[in-house]
């Protein structure tokens, strides 16, 4: 389904100054005081987006999982570990924000019980029951009102179909289909879909270049949303 939305001018995009929430990095879900479930996300993409947003003049709150990256200049960083902590921090920041980009690789599951001390190694199987973690993008998306949100989908098969379902389920205005090969790499390739629009294939580029493209897309979405609101 195509759209004929008029793109805002570059001058208008430069004049847009937003309060943004960006999530980045992995989460850690502990089953004792030492061991945890996580994933290999480095946080580089989310940090690059936060840096690009700050350089574009936006006020940025970056909610970050555990990564080995320095805070981008001019960005407020809130460091968390678990999905629940990320949700609470993101919810507080989103209350005063205009838009959010959900780039974090949040663990989908957490151990249902967390031991209060390190569990000793045993020469036998150990059963750990898992429970789903909160869906941060969907939770905040349900209450976003006029705010703009962009989500990420990392898929290794049937990518577009999965991403399209996530776009709807998470109440996003757009979604970025992330290639698994981007994890840990300095370069990235992606596809971009605006709700009601058609897929755009973005060329492989450095993560800072990709981040600038994402911020420009967000600004276009915000300008279009503002124009509709004024018309109403």
Contacts of 148 by beta carbon, 8 Å cutoff, 6+ apart: 98, 99, 100, 173, 218, 221, 222, 225
Strand stretches in the chain, DSSP E:
19-24, 29-30, 36-37, 59-64, 75-79, 99-102, 109-111, 130-132, 148-154, 174-178, 187-194, 200-206
The Cα–Cα gap between 155 and 60 comes to 27
Q: In degrees, to the nearest 5, what angle opens at C-alpha 107 toward C-alphas 104 and 113? A: 140
Contacts of 82 by beta carbon, 8 Å cutoff, 6+ apart: 27, 28, 29, 30, 110, 133
The pLDDT of residue 155: 85
For the purposes of burial, counting CB atoms within 10 Å of the CB of 130, is it exposed (0-12), middle (13-18) or buried (19 or more)?
A: middle
The pLDDT of residue 20: 98
Q: What is the full per-residue pLDDT of the chain (232 aa) written as tens digits?
A: 344 444 545 555 557 899 999 999 999 999 999 999 999 999 999 999 999 999 999 999 999 999 999 999 999 999 999 999 999 999 999 999 999 999 999 999 999 999 999 999 888 888 899 999 999 999 999 999 999 999 999 888 899 999 999 999 999 999 999 988 878 788 888 999 999 999 999 999 999 999 999 999 999 999 998 775 555 5
The residue written with tokens 């999982």 in the block is 65
Three-state DSSP class for residue 192 = strand
178 is catalytic: no
Catalytic-labelled residue, pool 39, 125, 178, 182: 39
Q: In degrees, to the nearest 5, what angle opens at C-alpha 65 toward C-alphas 150 and 131? A: 85
- Of 99, 136, 162, which is closest to residue 24 (Cα–Cα)? 136
The residue written with tokens 């045993």 in the block is 122
The pTM for the full model equals 0.90
């Amino acid at each position: 389904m195509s759209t004929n939305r008029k793109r805002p001018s570059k001058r208008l995009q430069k004049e847009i100054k937003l309060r943004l929430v960006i999530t980045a990095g992995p989460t850690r879900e502990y089953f004792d005081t030492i061991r945890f479930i996580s994933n290999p996300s480095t946080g580089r993409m989310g940090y690059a987006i936060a840096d690009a947003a700050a350089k574009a003049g936006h006020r940025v709150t970056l909610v970050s999982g555990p990564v080995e990256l320095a805070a981008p200049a001019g960005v407020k960083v809130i460091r968390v570990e678990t999905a629940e902590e990320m949700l609470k921090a993101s919810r507080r920041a989103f209350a005063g924000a205009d838009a959010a980009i959900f780039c974090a690789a949040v663990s989908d599951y957490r151990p249902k019980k967390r031991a209060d001390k390190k569990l000793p190694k045993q020469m036998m199987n150990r059963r750990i029951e898992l429970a789903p973690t909160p869906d941060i993008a969907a939770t905040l998306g349900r209450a976003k009102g006029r705010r703009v949100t962009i989500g990420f989908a990392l898929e290794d098969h049937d990518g577009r179909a999965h991403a399209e379902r996530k776009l709807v389920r998470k109440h996003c205005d757009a979604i970025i289909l992330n290639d698994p090969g981007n994890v840990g790499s300095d370069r990235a390739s992606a596809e971009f879909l605006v709700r009601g629009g058609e897929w755009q294939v973005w060329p492989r580029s450095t993560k800072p270049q990709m981040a600038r493209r994402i911020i420009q897309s967000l600004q276009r979405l915000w300008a279009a949303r503002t124009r509709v609101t004024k018309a109403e």
